[in-house]
Structure 1
């Protein structure tokens, strides 16, 4: 009966910890633990750490095992991003795969783990599905020194961060490499760009001192939710950036047309721009925007 109780306890603990058991946490259940090992029900994946054999290819379980083995660490890199976006188990964990971990001190090489030396302040740590991880805002701002804001855009688009949260992270990274570039990207992200093209479009509007717009703000039209790339509410004008790589996908193409129809029916005018137009003919873009804004002012008696 004692062995059975131990097995039930161990099984329950394992289920609550993403399929992970550490031997040192169950010294009083040594017989039950050994029985699970001998039967092949659990498999050793790191020193003193075992995983439910049925979850041996689960990336979530393997990340949980790495964190259990090294208590002072946090998920880092692509594994941290996957945890935050809850896509860890989108791909299976292979024999040669590793788990990315951050730790304040240098760590010896360990099979199945890749280390980054990083001290993440407590206010920028979170738990996702039981996994210790750096926050979305911290990861995105840290990466901005290398990726020109791509992760910031991705997390803004997914609603994982808000523009106002980004600058709060900067002091924690002040002494790290690439901080000047990081600060520049964060400043350029305050208007909520969801893509590199939108970032470029917003910068162009700011350069020409065109104001009165918001980016990716929720707009309800006949109970349909829209998030226009750039919205001039007073002028009933919407600017949309069409990146070729995304907007030629069938599902995006269809969604764009439905959204544009909804905007037109809602009495909004829509101007669409491509990367080529944005980079090679910005003067025409600005002239078109100003022309439509001027028409709105002259046609609206309240503006005269």
Structure 2
């Protein structure tokens, strides 16, 4: 075995250390360094010299390695150990369901585990029924992670996350529904239930009801829901909400997940024909109606005014 006089250590541990840094985003845990043959004194010297930076207690980052969102998540997992599991938004980030990394990384540590977490880490004392080791880190299975993350973000942002996960086929409706059934009375189950209902098709129906309520509250009259219109050369279409006297058509969309490529294409062709038929189209989504409930009524008023001025 060849020794390096400069560092007073053998070459083999150095090679193993480089491999650990390569596979762990520039991070190493104290016990891992000991396992490859480094002494506590050597570890202390590297920390003291600024070659290693202590990210969490007994978790170090090689100073030249640039921190990343992934290293933030891994550092928390390394601190907590193999008995811990990334959950919620942290787990969703590890699964690449979301690009966002939470300010506080949540880990489930079992019903009896866990020490006082360091800054930037939160431990939850509960068991994880199904977990998977992904790139060296234990993370809750994908569907459970997606639903828990969505629930933690609130209605609109949670819906965006779940909608995106379903669009990208990173999770399926069956898995989401199974996760809900296993939640019991856990905190957040009411919001989780609503999100699942929206994911299963309720978003469009809810958006239509919200649109009608918005027009009613604004005192707008003369609209007809689900108006059938015959378009020459195209056939009969049903306009979600129509103002026939002003030739204004309101088209309401639910979540993006509910519009596959074929439906997206059909909707585009249908809207083109409605416009060619002399209608002005206002399109709103479930998200629009949740975030800016007054937008639809305002848009209709402006469209009516523009039509009268023409």
- The size of the alignment, in residue pairs, is 229
- SS of residue paired to 1:100: strand
C-alpha displacement of 1:145? 8.1
**Counterpart position of 1:134:** 140
Residues 18, 268 of structure 1: alpha-carbon distance in 2 compared, 3 angstrom cutoff: farther
C-alpha displacement of 1:146? 7.2
Deviations 1:121-157 (A, max 9, x none): 12xx344444322234213333448733524224223
Distance 1:67 1:140 in 2: 18
CA contact (8 A) 1:191 1:202 kept: no
C-alpha displacement of 1:10? 0.7
Structure 1 gaps of 5+ residues are: 205-209, 211-233, 244-258, 281-304
CA contact (8 A) 2:207 2:253 kept: no
Q: Give the TM-score taking structure 1 as reference length.
A: 0.58
Structure 2 gaps of 5+ residues are: 4-9, 211-225, 227-234, 241-250, 255-263, 276-280, 298-310
- SS of residue paired to 1:115: strand
**Counterpart position of 1:220:** none
C-alpha displacement of 1:159? 3.2
Residues 12, 168 of structure 1: alpha-carbon distance in 2 compared, 3 angstrom cutoff: same
Residues 200, 108 of structure 1: alpha-carbon distance in 2 compared, 3 angstrom cutoff: same
**Counterpart position of 1:101:** 107
CA contact (8 A) 2:208 2:252 kept: no
C-alpha displacement of 1:44? 1.9
**Counterpart position of 1:273:** 283
Kindly name which structure, 1 or 2, has the bigger radius of gyration based on alpha carbons: 2
2:34 maps to 1:23: no
Residues 140, 192 of structure 1: alpha-carbon distance in 2 compared, 3 angstrom cutoff: farther
Deviations 1:207-258 (A, max 9, x none): xxx9xxxxxxxxxxxxxxxxxxxxxxx9777975479xxxxxxxxxxxxxxx
Q: Give the TM-score taking structure 2 as reference length.
A: 0.57
Distance 1:21 1:145 in 2: 30
- SS of residue paired to 1:50: strand
Deviations 1:8-33 (A, max 9, x none): 11111221122221221243512464
C-alpha displacement of 1:188? 3.4
Matches within 5 A, 1:1-304: 1-2=2-3, 3-27=10-34, 28-31=36-39, 33=43, 36-55=46-65, 57-70=67-80, 71-85=82-96, 98-105=104-111, 107-112=114-119, 113-122=121-130, 125-142=131-148, 143-144=150-151, 147-148=154-155, 150=159, 151-191=161-201, 198=204, 200-201=206-207, 241=252, 263-264=268-269, 272-274=282-284, 275=289
Distance 2:153 2:54 in 1: 36
- SS of residue paired to 2:37: helix
Distance 2:274 2:173 in 1: 27
Residues 130, 238 of structure 1: alpha-carbon distance in 2 compared, 3 angstrom cutoff: farther
- SS of residue paired to 2:200: coil
- SS of residue paired to 1:45: strand
CA contact (8 A) 2:89 2:152 kept: no
C-alpha displacement of 1:37? 3.6
